[in-house]
Chains A and B, each alone.
Chain A
């Protein structure tokens, strides 16, 4: 049969953002696919060269609009590595809790967007309802709903507000029950299972070779997680273990495994939050003043030429990394070069290859299961 190229995107319900997937089809079967990116490239790396180290944080928030807290934290760890700052323990706990709230909110956004892709509209309304609970909590910390600008070099902007920890515990415990409800809705829905199971196989070794990381690798049966291999923050003091899924095939994980691993990750995030809020130094019902040494350490503003900072951070979609070279602006107030590693930038070409051999109707299911986010991809 004659083969032809189909262009899906940049405006297409499958893409979850602005990018183009070009697929070559033979009848209904995908025989080749390639991704085109760059539609919302904003040049964050260049902009950062004219900003000082604190001013870069809001740009990093906007790298990924569904996972702002993890991205700005990721940047902050690199800046602290560069500027040699010792962070107070309480600030690390608050950051850890905030990042886990963000991880839940991000996975819920994924679940809410993925459901309609594969024919389940109900889960969208349910997931976004619970996402608001966590966005409200984060809003109390950072002041805005999605872009918080909350971590600072040396700590966090402000302490947890009065009563926040009680609301956090109540909402987290409520949410743990809601995950069971999602599973009752999805795992017993024949349409959902038929669309996901046996589709989009990828093995762990192939993914690592191609640079894929995070939940997508853990879905294929390996518990590799930056949070324990290169521990940052306080994850080494908390009671948790990485979520991991058992793939059913030698061909690796399918879309269903990747859905399962994210559900388990949300459970694990709840466990981390509940553990961390109990162990937080200084007490969970205390609120320290802005700039108190319990939550913010004094940090230098200049980095000498030749100094470098690097952070490896388990973002919601995989390992996000920042590499900063100091000494910009002649006086060291700006980064000379800020380099961002986005997990999705590497993953999307891999996903395009993964689709080969499946039907055109499987494309949204495969693409969505990897949780693409174009904000961080294009930077």
Chain B
């Protein structure tokens, strides 16, 4: 019924070998990492230099059948050093989905899946150098699903996606000031404890420390 641990490990090991063979020379490192909770299934983790993101993305899609771009996460590391001031993490999936004939269902049976048809989880980590303009090549042309994920990551974190067409704000107000990306770490968020909220829930009585700050 479900994908067994052996299938999962075989698929991940195969993907690690394929990734090493294809991109080992480009400075890409591939490893199989197991989740520490639940059933402890393994996934493929790739660390990719920013210059080779599109090469790796195209290889993943066309040679390894990775057809699903599910999440793109940007992170700001102000204390991360020169080599890792920012980081972009792509979560990708391989889903064995094919169009069925009309009036039939393409019912996958887990025990019969093998090779490229096995579902696979991929995490692609791209460390970016510190600086004011973190930039990574866009994979919008590789996976259509990356389009709005990249819009969101630029909107919230301020990572620029080189070559992304029609970039615009999606979650923040569309007239937000240029350069305002709330998930960057210079924007502080403060914990309000219960008493503070209880005494002054609306924030009418600003404490001296709050001068000039939005509560």
Q: Who on chain A is nearest to B190 by CB? A: A50
Known: A321-B71, A336-B75. A38 touches B169 (CB 8 A): yes
Interface size class, chain B: 35 or more
8 Å CB interface, B1-34 against A: 1-3
Task: List chain B residues, Cβ under 8 A from A321.
Answer: 70-71, 91
The answer to whether A345 and B148 have CB atoms under 8 Å apart is: yes
Task: List chain B residues, Cβ under 8 A from A204.
Answer: 97-100, 106
The answer to whether A235 and B2 have CB atoms under 8 Å apart is: yes
Task: List chain A residues, Cβ under 8 A from B158.
Answer: none
The answer to whether B121 and A224 have CB atoms under 8 Å apart is: no
The answer to whether B68 and A208 have CB atoms under 8 Å apart is: yes
8 Å CB interface, A28-59 against B: 36-38, 41, 43, 45-47, 49-51
B212 near A: Cβ within 8 Å? no
The answer to whether A245 and B37 have CB atoms under 8 Å apart is: no
The answer to whether B99 and A221 have CB atoms under 8 Å apart is: yes
The answer to whether A231 and B71 have CB atoms under 8 Å apart is: no
Q: Tell me the bound Cα distance from A248 to B11 in angstroms.
A: 33
Closest Cβ of chain B to A37, distance in Å, is: 6
The answer to whether A233 and B123 have CB atoms under 8 Å apart is: no
Known: A209-B145, A345-B152. A236 touches B97 (CB 8 A): no
Task: List chain B residues, Cβ under 8 A from A349.
Answer: 147-148
The answer to whether A43 and B37 have CB atoms under 8 Å apart is: no
A130 near B: Cβ within 8 Å? no
A133 near B: Cβ within 8 Å? no
A75 near B: Cβ within 8 Å? no
Task: List chain A residues, Cβ under 8 A from B91.
Answer: 310, 321, 323, 341
The answer to whether B108 and A223 have CB atoms under 8 Å apart is: yes
B202 near A: Cβ within 8 Å? no
A244 near B: Cβ within 8 Å? yes
B41 near A: Cβ within 8 Å? yes
Closest Cβ of chain B to A55, distance in Å, is: 9
The answer to whether A45 and B183 have CB atoms under 8 Å apart is: yes
Known: A211-B144, A336-B75, A346-B145. A217 touches B97 (CB 8 A): yes
Task: List chain B residues, Cβ under 8 A from A379.
Answer: 171
The answer to whether A81 and B35 have CB atoms under 8 Å apart is: yes
The answer to whether A346 and B149 have CB atoms under 8 Å apart is: yes
Q: Who on chain B is nearest to A84 by CB? A: B36
The answer to whether B121 and A312 have CB atoms under 8 Å apart is: yes
Task: List chain A residues, Cβ under 8 A from B107.
Answer: 223, 244
Q: Mark A334-345, 1 if CB is under 8 A from B, else 0.
A: 001101010001
Task: List chain B residues, Cβ under 8 A from A80.
Answer: 37-38
A269 near B: Cβ within 8 Å? no
A189 near B: Cβ within 8 Å? no
A122 near B: Cβ within 8 Å? no
A325 near B: Cβ within 8 Å? yes
Q: Who on chain A is nearest to B166 by CB? A: A34
A205 near B: Cβ within 8 Å? yes
8 Å CB interface, A59-112 against B: 77, 80-82, 84-87
Nearest 8 CB-CB pairings of A with B? A211-B145, A221-B100, A341-B71, A339-B73, A229-B119, A80-B37, A228-B2, A84-B36
A-B contact pairs, 27 of them (CB 8 A): A41-B171, A46-B182, A46-B189, A47-B189, A77-B38, A80-B38, A81-B38, A204-B97, A208-B95, A211-B145, A220-B100, A222-B97, A222-B105, A224-B119, A229-B110, A230-B119, A236-B39, A246-B104, A246-B105, A247-B103, A248-B102, A310-B121, A310-B123, A321-B91, A345-B152, A346-B148, A349-B147
Given contact pairs A205-B99, A211-B143, A337-B75, enumerate 4 new A-B contacts (beta carbons under 8 Å): A80-B37, A211-B148, A247-B103, A323-B91
A residues in contact (CB < 8 Å) with B:
36-38, 41, 43, 45-47, 49-51, 77, 80-82, 84-87, 203-205, 208-211, 213, 217, 220-224, 227-233, 235-236, 241, 244-250, 252, 309-310, 312, 319, 321, 323, 325, 336-337, 339, 341, 345-346, 349, 378-379
